[in-house]
Amino acid sequence: MHRRTLLASTIAATGIMMSEATTNDAAAQDDRENTLFFDLKDGRVVIKLRPDLAPQHVERIKALVRQGFYDGTPFHRVIEGFMAQGGDPTGTGTGGSQMPDLPAEFSPPAKARFLRGVCGMARTAAPNSANSQFFIMFAPASSLDGQYTIWGQVTSGMEFVDKIKRGAGQSGMVREPDRLLKAQLAADAA
């Protein structure tokens, strides 16, 4: 009897460990699915995607990354002390993907704010016009809180974002801009 109880408890414990391992594997895979790499001229930037804040925008970023859409695109608008904007293959600030524009997924300031390293979606004056263009914040900008969609946060490599070539004037348009060399999800990385 004692032997069966011991065997049953051993099997149950193994099942719990296997269940925890499966859960941990699923969480690790989810983390890899929601981790984005931007390779810049000076190094790799790691971004934690935020599907909890903007599920449609995160899915769009992932789809475009998997298509190779962002590879080689310029950081066409870069303003010192504010942000670096990219994601427009034309480099003019007027281009985007062939996909339809997205509805706004603005977060209330109590939930998420535009701080250093936060990644947001660029848009026109129309709230539901985000497509492929994005920006990475150099510094906090409370004026953007609740007005633009937050889809990610730089977790490492911000020092490489800081080295992106700056633009001139109020528009921040960059002549001979730096480029996003390669974008990929950690889940797809070799």
Amino acid 190: pLDDT: 72
The lowest-confidence range among 5-19, 30-44, 106-120, 125-139 is 5-19
- Asked if residues 119 and 135 have their Cβ atoms less than 8 Å apart, the reply is yes
Tell me how far apart the alpha carbons of residues 44 and 5 are, in angstroms, rounded to a whole number: 53
- Asked if residues 47 and 38 have their Cβ atoms less than 8 Å apart, the reply is yes
- Asked if residues 53 and 111 have their Cβ atoms less than 8 Å apart, the reply is yes
The yes-or-no verdict on residue 42 having pLDDT over 90 is yes
- Asked if residues 146 and 118 have their Cβ atoms less than 8 Å apart, the reply is no
The yes-or-no verdict on residue 18 having pLDDT over 80 is no
Tell me how far apart the alpha carbons of residues 188 and 175 are, in angstroms, rounded to a whole number: 33
**pTM of the predicted protein model:** 0.85
Task: Determine phi and psi for 31, rounding to 5 degrees.
Answer: -60, -40
- Asked if residues 105 and 54 have their Cβ atoms less than 8 Å apart, the reply is yes
- Residue 127: how many other CB atoms lie within 10 Å: 13
The yes-or-no verdict on residue 46 having pLDDT over 70 is yes
How does residue 9 score in pLDDT terms, banded at 50, 70 and 90?
very low
Reported as a single tens digit per residue, the pLDDT across 90-110 is 999 999 999 999 999 999 999
More confident residue, 82 or 5: 82
